A and B are shown apart, each in its own frame.
Chain A
Amino acid sequence: QVQLQESGPGLVKPSQTLSLTCTVSGGSIRNADYYWSWIRQPPGKGLEWIGYIYYSGNIFHNPSLKSRITISVDTSKNHFSLKLNSVTAADTAVYYCARVLTLGDWYFDLWGRGTLVTVPS
């Protein structure tokens, strides 16, 4: 059974870079059927798509965040990562990683439990 687990610092100072990793267990990140995505949710607000990546490195970003984000994949470690630079308090959120199925469709079919990242104001 495939599981996703986010990890990274829970507190990031303003103007610094937020770095998170999502480890895939129980399956290979090289599975050709899936992309791997980041989504976030500010406290009390809705979900926002950040971006997603294929194991080969093909990436799609949310245009509103594209200038600040880097998404990468490490197939040897079976994980993918998110970096968000120049953070502000507005970047405080629960960050989720999720698996995306795009074969003749497009949806998130598996979610991590999420990790809260706080940027103090």
Chain B
Amino acid sequence: QTVVTQEPSFSVSPGGTVTLTCGLSSGSVSTSYYPSWYQQTPGQAPRTVIYHTNTRSSGVPDRFSGSILGHKAALTITGAQTDDESDYYCVLYMGSGIVLFGGGTKLTVL
């Protein structure tokens, strides 16, 4: 059974740059998986940050960017702010109508 992998936690200093990744337990992530990224703060619904690998959702600051790095999808925050402290989830479309969430990364900004 394929699992979508994410770092459980990450820490970045304010103003710093952090890259979160989204991989597969077997195989490589490519654009054909349509990777997307969601930000969630405690008690709130998720918010779409990145879709189609690297397209920012409306209203998302340009310090957020998406890409494919090696064999994983990646979410990079350049110039992190305290407001970015959240859980981040990636989603991959596996084909045949099947979708998988990653386990999420808890990002701390301090």
Contacts and interface: CB of A to CB of B under 8 A. Distances in A.
B36 A46 contact: no
13 contacts: A52-B97, A52-B99, A62-B98, A105-B34, A105-B52, A106-B34, A106-B36, A107-B36, A108-B48, A109-B57, A111-B45, A111-B46, A114-B45
A96 B46 contact: yes
Interface of A: 39, 46-49, 52, 60, 62-63, 96, 101, 105-114
Interface string B22-53: 00000000000010101010000111100110
A49 B45 contact: no
B51 A109 contact: yes
Nearest to B87: A46
B46 A107 contact: no
B60 to A, nearest CB: 12
B79 to A, nearest CB: 25
Interface of B: 34, 36, 38, 40, 45-48, 51-52, 57, 89, 91, 93, 97-104
A49 B101 contact: yes
A47 B89 contact: yes
A114 B104 CA distance: 18
B46 to A, nearest CB: 6
B57 to A, nearest CB: 7
Given A47-B104, A49-B101, 19 more contacts: A39-B101, A46-B89, A46-B101, A47-B46, A47-B89, A49-B91, A52-B97, A105-B51, A105-B52, A106-B36, A106-B93, A106-B99, A107-B36, A107-B48, A107-B51, A109-B48, A109-B57, A111-B46, A114-B45
Nearest to B94: A106
A109 B98 CA distance: 17
A60 B46 contact: no
A108 B45 contact: no
A60 B101 contact: no
Contacts of A62: 98
